[in-house]
Amino acid sequence: MSASNFPFEDCLLKHFVRTDGWLPVCKNRRKIVNAGRARRLRYFTFCAVGAIDVLMLDVAKVLIKSSQDTFDTVCFFDLDADAVFNTRKNIPGADGIVGDFVDTVMADDPHFPEAAIVNGGEPEGQESMPLSSERPAQNTRAERERQRMLSARRAFIGAFPFDIVNLDLEQYLFQPTEQLPGRLINALRRVFEWQHRPRMFSGKPPAQAIDGFSLMFTTRIGPPNLGQEYLEMLRSGIVSNLEADRDLADLMTARVGHADVPVLERTSFGEFFKLAVPKLLARLLMERDWYVDPTNGIKIYEFERTNAQLTYSMLHFVMDVKQHEPPEGQRAPGVTSASAAAAYRSVVREVFSRREIVVTEAGLDKASLEVDLSKIKARRNKNRGGV
């Protein structure tokens, strides 16, 4: 996955989502972190070369650079090494990882247990990595690529946890050719698990786990050829919620005119998708001992985009995430967190009842958004030495 040549940097629809959705939740995360042991926030993103989101958070003083004026608490992915190099010109000192996100996260690394990977034992952005105990392999192109990927994976794991995770993937959540539940879903499971890794923030002991983070996730509605296994997974998720909470049928009827899930799928796939996917994300978090904070629930933005004569709908999900209380390590086997379960029920109700924010050109304050983008680009120009 890559956003190297992102053609929508100046899209005002997208920038509205950044400023109205992403920025407030990131500012709030900074307040939460500073209310405890004050430190700089750690941010993971798919920022593309332009790094608009990172620079927006820089201008807003959500991200604080190091004493050397570097973005050493920022980590990003890109497929292309040249793109990583050019991105780092815009956000100097950021930790750029070359490779496909899903391939890297899901890579098999049997000789190097994740528990052996150092997390934050050195100053931020300078994590040391233990040497592998693998036997020397043949010097083939495939083996060199495998070793490069494993090295990238270990570096990525060592960068966890993050206070803000921005999975702005700009593509489909599901690939019909993949086995259920899909490689991206399984990659998200690992990312949410790694969010529990303790860290010595700023290189200072003791190592600490975070008790919450902010999450942004982007996907397209679709694809149109989604297979029956995936459709059944989404259908069953909605049906199980309806069965567990009888009031949801009334909420669904108020929203779409009925409470028949198969009919909704056939007649309005977009509405079906917007009900199923946020609940799926909430369930994935629950699996890994996190839950969506019901205070603001899951905020959803939608806008249409046209690219190469293809018109499609983008969805942006924004939420705060909390650790189960008590955490899994302090609960008996099979015992769930009552507070997390109650929060999940509340969030599901909110998903059924609260409509997405539909962003259109007509509804934008274009002048204000353009001024904001110009400030961000001026900061980028400054970071590049004015060139």
239-298 confidence digits (pLDDT tens): 999 999 999 999 999 999 999 999 999 999 999 999 999 999 999 999 999 999 999 999
**Nearest to 171, CA basis, from 43, 74, 87, 46:** 46
Cα–Cα distance measured from residue 8 to residue 13, given in angstroms and rounded to the nearest whole number: 9
* ∠ Cα 280 246 229 (to 5°): 35
338 pLDDT above the threshold of 70: yes
Cα–Cα distance measured from residue 270 to residue 13, given in angstroms and rounded to the nearest whole number: 19
pLDDT of residue 382: 92
Which tokens sit at 337? 């967190």
- Output the average pLDDT for the chain: 91
Q: How many CB atoms lie within 10 A of CB 224?
A: 9
pLDDT of residue 111: 81
pLDDT of residue 178: 95
Give yes or no for a contact between 349 and 247, defined as CB atoms under 8 angstroms apart. Answer: yes
Cα–Cα distance measured from residue 2 to residue 315, given in angstroms and rounded to the nearest whole number: 18
Give yes or no for a contact between 167 and 46, defined as CB atoms under 8 angstroms apart. Answer: yes
pLDDT of residue 3: 47
Rg of the chain (C-alpha set): 21
Give the 3-state secondary structure of residue 183: helix
Give residue 386's pLDDT band: very low, low, confident or very high (50, 70, 90). Answer: low
Q: How many CB atoms lie within 10 A of CB 180?
A: 11
Mean pLDDT in residue range 63-89: 95
**If residue 284 lies in a helix (H) or strand (E), which one and from where to where?**
helix 269-287
Question: What is the number of residues in the chain?
Answer: 387
Cα–Cα distance measured from residue 45 to residue 166, given in angstroms and rounded to the nearest whole number: 5
124 pLDDT above the threshold of 80: no
pTM attached to this predicted model: 0.93
